[in-house]
Amino acid sequence: MRRSRIPAFAPARPTAPTGAGGGLRSTRSLAAAWGVVVLITVPAWVLTVGQARDMGVEPGTMGMALPLFLLLWVIMMAAMMLPSMAPVALSWVRGIGRRSSGWVRTARTAEFVAGYLLVWTAFGLLVYAALALTGDLVDDHPTAGRWIGAVAFLLAGLYQLGPLKNVCLRHCRDPLSHLVRYAGFRGPARDLRVGLHHGVYCVGCCAGLMVVFVPLGVMNVAAMAGLALVVFVEKLWSRGVLLSGVVGVAFLVLAVLAPFQDWMLPGLEGSMPPMDDM
C-alpha cells in the first residue's frame, strides 16, 4: 500500500488549536519558549514606557520625524503583539529546528521575525500619516478633535464587528492549517514570506484597535497596555471572539460620547504635560 507523505509541520494526530495550547509543543519546550518571549517583551515594554513618560501625550506625531516614529512603533508592536503571536511563532520555529541547526536555524528564525515586523513597519507608515493629518487639523481647528475622535471610535467599532476582522482573527486563533500551508513554501526567502503572511493577518486582526491610538494618543501607556491585553485575550481565550464583539460595541458607545467628553480624547487635545506631572 502506498503511503501518503505528511507535511513537515502537520501533526501526527488531531490536536487542539495552537492558540488554545494544543499538542504542538511539549511542556518543557513551551516553558522555555515562553521564557524567551518574556525576555524580549519585558525590555520592549521598559523602553516603550520610559519613552512615553518623557514625551507625554499630545496630538499627532508629537513632532517626531518618521524614522524615530517607526523605531518607536516597532518597539511598541514587539511589546504589544509578541505575546499574542507567540503560539504561531513558536510552532514555526520548532519546525525550523527539526530541519536546521546552529546558525542556519538562528538566521531562519530572524528572517521570520523580520518579515513579521516589516508588515507592522509598513502599517506604521499609515499610522504616521493619520497622526500627522489629525494633528494638523487639531492645530488649525481645536474643536475638530471631538469629531475626529468620534469618527476614530466609530471606525474602530465597525471594524471590530466586521467580516475582515473575523477572517483574520480566525487565522490568528487557529493557525494550524496555515502552518501546514506554510510548509509548502519554497525558495531562499521562505521564512521571510511566512513572517510577512502571518504579519498581514495579524495587522488585519488588530487594525481596528490601532485606530483608537488617534484619540487616545500614540504614546498613551494605559491605552497600550489595555489594547495589548485585548489582543492577547482575543487570540488565546476560548471566548476571544465574544470579547472582540464586546469591544466593538464599546467603541461604538465611545463614538457617541466622544464629542461631549473631552477627557476621553487625550490624543486630540492641546499639549499635555508629561505623565510624571499628571
Tens digit of each residue's pLDDT (9 = 90 or more) over 81-124: 888 877 777 777 676 666 666 676 677 777 888 888 899 999 99
Residue 181 — φ and ψ, nearest 5°? -65, -40
Residue 8 clears pLDDT 50, i.e. is over it:
no
pLDDT of residue 243: 93
pLDDT of residue 170: 86
CA distances from 15 to 21, 23, 52 (A): 9, 6, 42
What is the Cα–Cα distance from 45 to 40, expressed in whole angstroms?
A: 9
User: Taking the CA of residue 210 as centre, how many other CA atoms within 13 Å lie in the half-sphere pointing to its CB?
Assistant: 21
Extract the C-alpha cell encoding 107: 538566521
Residue 76 clears pLDDT 50, i.e. is over it:
yes
pLDDT of residue 156: 96
- Global pTM value: 0.78
More confidently predicted of 175 and 1: 175
Question: What mean pLDDT, rounded, does the chain reach?
Answer: 79
Mean pLDDT of 226-231: 94
What is the Cα–Cα distance from 61 to 205, expressed in whole angstroms?
A: 24
Residue 17 clears pLDDT 70, i.e. is over it:
no
Tens digit of each residue's pLDDT (9 = 90 or more) over 148-207: 999 999 999 999 999 999 999 988 887 666 666 666 666 777 788 888 888 999 999 999
108 touches 188 (CB < 8 A): no
Grid cell 507608515 in the structure block, residue: 125
How many Cβ atoms sit within 10 Å of the Cβ of residue 266? 20
